Structure 1
């Protein structure tokens, strides 16, 4: 059985595709990609069908991480059933995502950085322009997420 991981941000062009690509890369490095379904989505519909933001593409390319085949999509109600972990980039993403998923609250919907010692929102580089900060936070968060998933599912490290 595959483990579904969905990353969610506002427009699905900066933070969530960055986290998706980083997480996919971590999983590929471990050789366990067949165990996962990994995707990202946005709570807004402004960028549906667009590829990731150039800042995201450029930052990931610096680390040899591909965004090929990634396109923005809007979060859908059936994503709640399709994914085991719905990982939002900030608190407002959670507040926007829950009703879109038909939920009032859910343990499977949480912020990426809630897994770290300093839980906080991942700043949106669409507004801050700081793709390096977003990359570093997503990398730390994705490593913690993979560790959590391995523990939750009794996977070997």
Structure 2
């Protein structure tokens, strides 16, 4: 079983959107029983809350379920429990790497590393930009790259 954890700042926009998109793609590819997917935030402001209204609306429009997704904060144990820890931006990367030094080893990746030939170095936060479609487009493409990586591992 392969496990993936997406991490952003508050766990209400980017990482829960990525969690829902990857779950959807894994189901389409018949890999959902071989992969667990979760998301977390580096901050604790939104713990226990559902995804942001903009995230929920966009996912509903795309026919992607976000059922059961509630914000939580990343825990040190996550770094040993998950095979992939995938962050949205450099701030998240620094925070997770600092936690990793305390908690142990994991594979920390930037989400944009799973997109070939992109000018993006980070996933813009729609909480601040208001552009949930831009974020979705990046996440959808990156999740396809993640699925390709996972497929190589489970075959």
Tell me the TM-score normalized by structure 2: 0.93
1:18-33 to structure 2, matched below 5 A, reads 18-33=17-32
List alignment gaps of at least 5 residues for structure 2.
none
1:46-125 to structure 2, matched below 5 A, reads 46-102=45-101, 108-116=107-115, 117-118=117-118, 119-125=120-126
- For residues 35-75 of structure 1, the C-alpha deviation after alignment (integer angstroms, 9 at most, x for no partner) is 01110000000000000000000011111001111100000
Is contact 1:57–1:67 with CA below 8 Å preserved after alignment? yes
Which residue of structure 2 aligns with residue 135 of structure 1? 136
Partner SS for 2:140: helix
Give, in whole Å, the separation in 2 of the partners of 1:103 and 1:67. 31
Partner SS for 1:149: helix
Is contact 2:5–2:82 with CA below 8 Å preserved after alignment? yes
Partner SS for 1:37: strand
Is contact 1:98–1:105 with CA below 8 Å preserved after alignment? no
User: Aligned pair count?
Assistant: 153
Partner SS for 2:33: helix
List alignment gaps of at least 5 residues for structure 1.
none
Which residue of structure 2 aligns with residue 37 of structure 1? 36
2:10 is aligned with 1:11: yes
Is contact 1:75–1:100 with CA below 8 Å preserved after alignment? no
Which residue of structure 2 aligns with residue 147 of structure 1? 148
Query: Could you list the runs of 4 or more consecutive aligned residues of structure 1 that deviate by over 3 angstroms after TM superposition?
Result: 101-107
